[in-house]
Amino acid sequence: MLRSLAELAGLVPDARTVAIDIPIGLTENGIRRCDGLARALLGPRRSSVFSAPPRDVLAATDHPSASALCRQLTGKGLSRQSFFLFERIRETEAWLQSTTGIEVREAHPELAWTTLPPGGPCRESKHRPAGLRERAERLAALPWMPAGDILEWTRPAGVKPDDLLDALACLHVAVRIGRGEAVRLPDPPEIGADGRPCSISF
């Protein structure tokens, strides 16, 4: 299991495409278009898409101040879930600056499921047994997926079943990107304050 993105090159040296469930590209102010488009597409599963903060909010060191600044810049506060992503966002940005030869795109597992049979967003929450089974069955349709029940795989300590399923969903997106099959929201991407494209691939 990777403890940091910096370990990726050593563990998978031939990787050429990476899909990661972390925001890439932040706006100067306002909500990213890709987050709103993803929520609209997912419908009932939209609550799983957290709005990425504007770039300046990333400097906040506690949730109340981050939420206050986000409200000032966007008209909306910041969820605790989004605040807890700050460290990972900073880690991802640092890794992107030092990485060459790899195409890295933002992905979201709930969007990835829509590209697997029977199509459309998952009906059940991933936090329920029925939702885990639904996702595992969709992944089982992939030709490169090993035979057997994914939910019975041995997982590293601390990795929950839904974490494994989400990681495999992002791997599915990376394969689609490599084959030129992936869809981007929006297309063409919005350009963030740091010059990086703000879009979610699936």
pLDDT digits (tens, 9 = 90+) for 113-152: 999 999 999 999 999 999 999 999 999 999 999 999 999 9
83 belongs to a structural domain: yes
Measure the CA–CA gap between 107 and 114, rounded to whole angstroms. Answer: 12
5 belongs to a structural domain: no
4 belongs to a structural domain: no
Q: What is the pTM of this model?
A: 0.93
Residue pair 126/112 in contact by the 8 Å Cβ criterion: no
Q: CB-based burial of residue 141 (10 Å sphere; 0-12 exposed, 13-18 middle, 19+ buried)?
A: exposed
Give the domain range for residue 67.
13-201
7 belongs to a structural domain: no
Note the pLDDT tens digit of each residue in 59-116: 999 999 999 999 999 999 999 989 999 999 999 999 999 888 889 999 999 999 999 9
1 belongs to a structural domain: no
8 belongs to a structural domain: no
How many domains is the chain partitioned into structurally? 1
